[in-house]
Structure 1
Amino acid sequence: MTETVDRQTQFSGTSAVRAGQEIDLARLHGWMTANVEGFAGPLTVEQFKGGQSNPTYKLLTPGQNYVLRRKPPGQLLASAHAVDREYRVITALHAQGFPVARTFGLCTDESVIGTWFYVMDCVDGRIFWDTSFPDVPREQRAAYFDAMNATLAQLHMIDVEKAGLADYGKPGNYFSRQIGRWSRQYMEDADAGRVAAMDRLVEWLPANIPPGEEVSVVHGDYRCDNMIFHKTEPKVLAVLDWELSTLGHPLADFAYHLMIYRMPPETTTGLLGRDLDALGVPTEAEYVAAYCARTGRAGIDNLDFYVAYNLFRLAGIVHGIRGRVVRGTATSAHARKMAEGVENLADLALAQARKIGA
């Protein structure tokens, strides 16, 4: 069995609810009846294999299926797992015609299932867990890449004032604030331990931030497996997992997505070293040019810094997962596997930074 098949089968679809993440169906049924227009039971629940940070469930009824996202149980970092922010941004973007699921309600009453949660539509389509789209014919892969590119450009061109999201984050000084945030979370999570490459990046990154400010809604984790595609067409039906979204610099968001070209296949199914022509996917330069054309840019200066920052940030995210594994609040096999990759990601980030003087 190949690694590609492993990822696709490991993360796709649903399974029984994992131990420690059960839901009181009677209380949830009562809340759904009172708060979700058109809801009618009986109600059954399964858990998606993905959705590691905020546990995600499929709610099945005779008339319609729903998706529930919740904070995980247990001790949490104060700023993490903000499902109320996810709910807000998805609701606002749906009203702007951006491809996200329709939302039905947010619950901040912990007595219902033990943590805050929200309910949204269950969008029927395909999720791809490998960036090379191995299940798509070669001649169609470029169109799937173009759909990802166009959807991210659409997000970055949304008017935050018109969308009602002008206060969704702090405008300005995005890189300084984000580097500070992830540095603090890294330093404070003693359970996950220290990493030499991370220590160096915590020192180097804030002293080398490029000039220039732009503000847009940023997704924060934009990659192929956080999108639902049409079952047969290269069309994005819904972008998922908005936990890390905020107001920020669009080039930071784009460079995070672009990391697929700078990361090896064994890390997170990256494209580094792959024969892109044989795969039928665009080169990094072609992909950057398409995004620039859609967003009215002549090019992207300081792209290497943006990628280094994002690799650092990703290492910080995975470092946090390691901390949750140690504390017992992340129990899945996928979370444990991800937690093993902190050093590799931190080394990749530092190697990228060294290209520009670190």
Structure 2
Amino acid sequence: MTLQQNLKLDDVSLANYLEKQILGFKGPLTSNKFSDGQSNPTYLITAASGKYVLRRKPPGDLLKSAHAVDREFKVISALYKTNVPVAKAYHLCEDESVIGSMFYIMEFVDARIFWDPTLPKLNNLQRNAVYDEMNRVLTALHSVDIDSVGLSDYGRPGNYFQRQVSRWSKQYRDSETETIPEMDALISWLPKNLPVDDGRVTISHGDFRLDNMLFAKDSEKVLALVDWELSTLGHPFADLAYQCMQLRMQHGGLLSGLGGINRIELGIPTEEEYVAKYCQRMGIDNIPHWNFYLAFSFFRLASILQGVKKRSLIGNSSNKNAQQMAEQIKPLVKLAIKLIE
């Protein structure tokens, strides 16, 4: 049986199950898998009672701790009544016999997604407003009182970057398919240059970027921040650097950034302006060790894409563009090396 066959849902049995689990849910339903998304297969569920979204673990052999849809469900449930915009979570199913893997159901948010960071269909004022709104959402996330929302156990204690460097180095080695000298150099350099732990602990989204935000169709307001698979308790500067890292990447292609783009002409803030606005909102003066955080972000994304590449090679990827995304690994690593030379 192929991966795509494994990803097909039994709409009749799923409807019967959900009618018993979600108040007000009514079948019949039809399921359609979204073509976008790299890790956890995601479906639009159209039922008699309305539209919903289903996210599941992919079938097959998976890297340990990856595809944790139960963690996604936990964090968006906790954040739903905070200032962080998230979709409403309805039900988590841990019984793999229902569709073949763990999954959860959340509300469908009718919104728009911006795939191109240059925002070509908007004017300069709108572009500036979009980036300012992303900045606002990021600071709202990093301002959440983790104890009051029940997420004090959402991550491990200790130095976040130390743990993350160790984790992603291991993940990379577990899915390594060829020798990349620059990656070996990063794996050696990062643990030797860790900033002193400053004690900052916030919810870290882990994949904070433009196309993981659902914007209102008639304004620049974010209605929901999505794709929480990599979220944990961590250091706030990781999310900020990750977003700025992506905006440094070359424009165009599957992982498009703002590299080589004149932001001033488009009304998009520079990296310095964006970081300064974040600092202002968070009440801090500046961010030391910025190059480390950026280099770590490039390393981490390259490690994630290496896992995508490995799943593609063994036929266990849910995205047809997996191999093309994997081709970005070496360029990412080279960008990281430039930051530490």
The alignment's TM-score, normalised by the length of structure 1, stands at: 0.91
Tell me what 1:135 maps to. Answer: 121
2:297 aligned partner: 310
The residue correspondences of 1:47-66 to structure 2 (distance < 5 A) are: 47-66=33-52
Structure 2 stretches lacking a partner, 5+ long = none
The structural deviation recorded for 1:18 is 4.3
* Equivalent residue number for residue 231 of structure 2: 245
> Could you tell me which of 310, 319, 322 is aligned with 1:335?
322
**Alpha carbons 1:132, 1:269 under 8 Å: kept:** no
The reply to whether residue 290 of structure 1 matches residue 270 of structure 2 is no
Identical counterparts, % of pairs: 48
CA deviation vs aligned residue, 1:174-206 (integer Å, no higher than 9, x gap): 00000000000111224x333211111110000
User: Given the alignment of the two structures, is residue 98 of structure 1 paired with residue 84 of structure 2, yes or no?
Assistant: yes
One of 182, 194, 214 as aligned partner of 1:197: 182
CA distance, structure 2, for counterparts of residue 261 and residue 180 of structure 1? 25
User: Counterparts of 1:76-95 in structure 2 under 5 Å?
Assistant: 76-95=62-81
How far, CA to CA, are the matches of 1:29 and 1:132 in structure 2? 41
Measured against aligned partners, the alpha-carbon deviations of 1:144-191 in whole angstroms (never above 9, x if no partner) come to: 00000000000000000011000000132100000000000111224x
Deviations 1:7-40 (A, max 9, x none): xxxxxxxxxx944311121221122011111101
What amino acid does structure 2 have at the position aligned with 1:221? D
TM alignment of 1:208-357, pairs within 5 A: 208-211=193-196, 212-266=198-252, 268-354=255-341
Name segments (4+ residues, structure 1) moved above 4 Å: none
Aligned partners of 1:174 and 1:248 also within 8 Å:
yes
* Letter of the structure 2 residue corresponding to residue 198 of structure 1: M
1-side partners of 2:90 and 2:130: how far apart? 29
Aligned length: 337
Deviates more, 1:241-250 or 1:44-53: 44-53
Contact 2:12 2:28 in 1 (8 A): no
Query: What amino acid sits opposite 2:12 in the alignment?
Result: A
Take 1:277 and 1:255, find their aligned partners in 2: how far apart are those partners? 21
C-alpha RMSD over aligned residues: 1.4
Distance 2:287 2:275 in 1: 8
- Where does residue 173 of structure 2 map in the other structure? 187
Superposition deviation, residue 349 in structure 1: 1.5
Tell me the secondary structure at the aligned position of residue 333 of structure 1. coil
Q: 1:50-75 deviations in whole A, cap 9, x for unaligned? A: 22200000000133100000000111
1:177 aligns with 2:163: yes
Shift in Å, 1:331: 4.8
- Range that drifts further, 327-336 or 201-210: 327-336
Q: Distance in 1 between matches of 2:5 and 2:119?
A: 32
SS at match of 1:200: helix
* Structure 2 counterpart of 1:77, one-letter code: L
Instruction: Determine which structure has greater relative contact order: mean sequence separation of CA pairs < 8 Å that are 6+ residues apart, divided by chain length.
Output: 2
How many Å separate the matches in 1 of 2:14 and 2:6? Answer: 17
Gaps of 5+ in 1: 1-16
